[in-house]
Amino acid sequence: MSDEKLSYEQARAELATVVEKLEQGGASLEESLALWERGEKLADVCQTWLDGARDRIETARAARGDG
């Protein structure tokens, strides 16, 4: 599954796994860098979902006259 098709929950769960692996240590420098890069991509996916949710809420509020 491509990163763009990950749900927020899927991206967040994988990001938690990446963070756990990094915190455990013991990985080589190359492995650690790959995990870090994957974590950055997953964080971006999560942020995109959160930004979209914020936009939808603001649009809904504006339509109701609340914002």
- Per-residue confidence at 67, pLDDT binned at 50, 70, 90? low
Model-level pTM? 0.85
Tokens of 20: 């756990």
8-64 to CATH, choices 1.10.760, 3.40.50, 3.10.180, 1.10.287:
1.10.287
What's the pLDDT tens digit per position in 3-53? 879 999 999 999 999 999 999 999 999 999 999 999 999 999 999 999 999
Is 67 or 23 the better-scoring residue by pLDDT? Answer: 23
* pLDDT score for 56: 94
